[in-house]
A and B are shown apart, each in its own frame.
Chain A
Amino acid sequence: MGSVGDVKPQVMPFTEPLPLRSGARLSDYTLVYETYGSLNAERSNAVLVCHALNASHHVAGTYAGEARSEGWWDNLVGPGKPLDTNRFFVIGINNPGSCFGSTGPMHVDPATGRIYGADFPVVTVEDWVDAQARLLDRLGITQLAAVLGGSLGGMQALSWSLRHPERLRHCIAVATAPNLSAQNIAFNEVARRAIVTDPEFHGGHYYGYRVVPKRGLRVARMIGHITYLSDDAMEAKFGRGLKAGVPGYSTQDIEFEIESYLRHQGDKFSEYFDANTYLLITRALDYFDPAREFGGDLSAAFATARCKFQLVSFTTDWRFSPERSREIVRALLDNRFDVSYAEIDAPHGHDAFLLDDARYHGVLRARFDNIAREFGA
């Protein structure tokens, strides 16, 4: 199993405005994307990998001369890996509103000539899927062998099956949910309030002040990170370990290992992530609810799908719990679709979807092997 090696992101500009769910339009935008492997003559081996909250188009491979620049799903995507780039043409697209290159709140609004900031239109999972579909049009890909995503990426994979049912043969949705629960929205809201109430947020127009609401971003990341780990995983990794070995009897200094870890994660995140993007992406999570237009009937919502489905969840994931994946499975069964579901007994919580548990990767490898057989690779 190897790496796809050094890769270069590509840029595609779009002049035709993208109509958004909110009624707004995104005009003159660009999308950044990467591809690995090669498209076969029949154009039948393309797999779109959708990214989650803090990831990007950089799914696999490295950037030349940059240490530790592996893509976020490099353990899954590459030559000989479960999603084998010797057989598949893999595409990663950075969603609009993100802060990794595609048009986002830090860019200039062509309508006003000013930086979007808080005025960047609210984007939804459906909007992202439509933007991705347009990029695939330009690449000449009319039908994907599969769409794969985890967490928020899984929601995009599900949305693909509903919005563009004829354009994918397989939907592979990992550690995802048919919508967010109230508790889940609550976590997002705490994160958003942390950002919005940071004095350096300036109503979302902090770019002009040459500041970044880092304090808010740090807290947002800390709360997010707590929800990505299981209680057991946190206990195993940190327990009640004290940074100095003995109590320092301080209310504000770092005392416990877990505090040190969370602060480190928060610091790192605040260095590279954009606050407005965080607000936009958590909102996209909150809004996703394909059953909403069907009176809450998820089975009815899925009636338009045509592809085959693979769902995966992790037993210790309490942010996107197995129960939520089973709701999706049930809706797919009601529609008599081909669906398989693996519930992986992994200890790591939501983060498990990015790790390389052998049972999890075994199922995905088997699934992609079968998909490859369909087009004779």
Chain B
Amino acid sequence: MSDKKDIELIAELVPPGSRVLDLGCGSGELLAHLRDHRQCSGYGIEIADANVLACTQRGVNVIQLNLEEGLAMFEDRSFDVVLQLDTLQHLRNAERMLLETARVGRVGIVSFPNFAHWPNRLRIATGRMPVTKALPYEWYDTPNIRVGTYADFEVLARKNGLQILDSFGIQDGRVRRRRPNLTASVGVFKFERA
């Protein structure tokens, strides 16, 4: 989610002045953007030393924590928005983290690479795993241990009683609302606990 346009598209989902928790916040780019352009406050969670340093340099609040250990540190509904961008697919306990996101935030926003994007489907049809901009790894070295599709997420959300408030795909820095499961390499969902 380091793509600047993608960040701006997602930032637009965050109401101005929100108190935000960004799970797997990377270098803090989105948090800084939300702070500077949408008057948001909040914190990022990161495990990587280099990212913790980058956030500190940006003056973004960052808490070094392993998301696999859960969000016990945070109270129920203590944030307006909990972001989980390009992170879910790296987590062993992805489903639990999704529920934690919905518990801690009034609204959750997730984004992840859509495995059903048509080039991926084509590649699978040829018998090989896809290697694309959104999924740039080989099958044997990918950190994406939870590869799912846009449509899969809708099923998971329903299963966990999450109400989808908005959803779309992103392809080449543009929002795709028509057949996102086929036409977008990134899926974005905004949801709340039903």
Q: A329-B73, A333-B73, A334-B75 are in contact. Are A359 and B63 (CB under 8 A)?
A: no
Q: Interface digits, B52-63 against A, CB 8 Å rule (1 contact, 0 not)?
A: 110111010111
Q: Which residue of B lies closest to A371 (CB)?
A: B59
A184 an interface residue at 8 Å Cβ cutoff? no
Complex contact B53–A339 (CB within 8 A): no
Q: Which residues of A (326-341) have their CB < 8 Å from a CB of B? A: 326, 329-330, 333-334, 336, 338-341
| A339 adjacent to B43 (CB under 8 Å) | yes
Instruction: Decide: B53 and A362 in contact? CB cutoff 8 A.
Output: yes
Chain A 366-377 interface 0/1 with B at a Cβ cutoff of 8 Å (1 = within): 110110000000
Inter-chain contact B61/A343, CB cutoff 8 Å: no
Task: Tell me whether chain A's interface is mostly helix, strand or loop, or mixed.
Answer: helix
Smallest Cβ-Cβ distance to A312: which chain B residue? B64
| Nearest CB of A to B80, in Å | 12
Contact yes or no, B49 A339, CB < 8 A: no
Residue A363 CB within 8 A of the other chain:
yes
B63 & A339 in contact (Cβ 8 Å cutoff): yes
The reply to whether the CB of A226 lies closer than 8 angstroms to some CB of chain B is: no
Chain A residues closer than 8 Å to B65, beta-carbon distance? 326, 341, 343
With contact pairs A362-B53, A363-B56, A367-B56 given, residues A340 and B62 touching in the complex (Cβ less than 8 Å): yes
Bound-complex Cα distance A345 to B64 (A): 11
Q: Which residue of the partner chain A has the closest CB to B55?
A: A340
Indicate whether A52 reaches chain B with its CB closer than 8 angstroms. Answer: no
Residues of B within 8 A of A333 (CB): 43, 73-74, 78
Selected from A326, A340, A345, A370, the residue in CB contact (under 8 A) with B73 is: A326
Q: Which B residues between 22 and 60 are near A, CB-CB below 8 angstroms?
A: 41, 43, 49, 52-53, 55-57, 59
CB distance from B54 to the nearest CB of A (A): 9
Tell me which residues from 315 to 353 in chain A have a Cβ below 8 Å from any Cβ of chain B.
Answer: 326, 329-330, 333-334, 336, 338-345
B113 to chain A, nearest CB (A): 29
Q: Would A363 and B73 count as touching, CB distance under 8 A?
A: no
Return A144 CB to nearest CB of chain B, in Å. Answer: 19
Q: Is the CB of B43 within 8 A of A342?
A: no
How many angstroms between the C-alpha atoms of A253 and B53 in the bound complex? 48
Report the minimal beta-carbon distance from A321 to chain B, rounded to whole angstroms: 14
For A330, what are the chain B residues with a Cβ–Cβ distance below 8 Å?
73
> Assuming the A-B contacts A333-B74, A339-B61, A340-B62, are A359 and B53 also in contact, with contact meaning beta carbons closer than 8 angstroms in the complex?
yes
Per the bound structure, the CA–CA distance linking A343 and B63 in Å amounts to 8
Shortest CB distance B30–A (Å): 16
Residues of A within 8 A of B (CB): 310, 326, 329-330, 333-334, 336, 338-345, 359, 362-363, 366-367, 369-370
A/B interface sample: 10 pairs, CB < 8 A: A310-B56, A333-B74, A341-B65, A342-B62, A343-B65, A344-B49, A359-B49, A363-B56, A370-B56, A370-B59
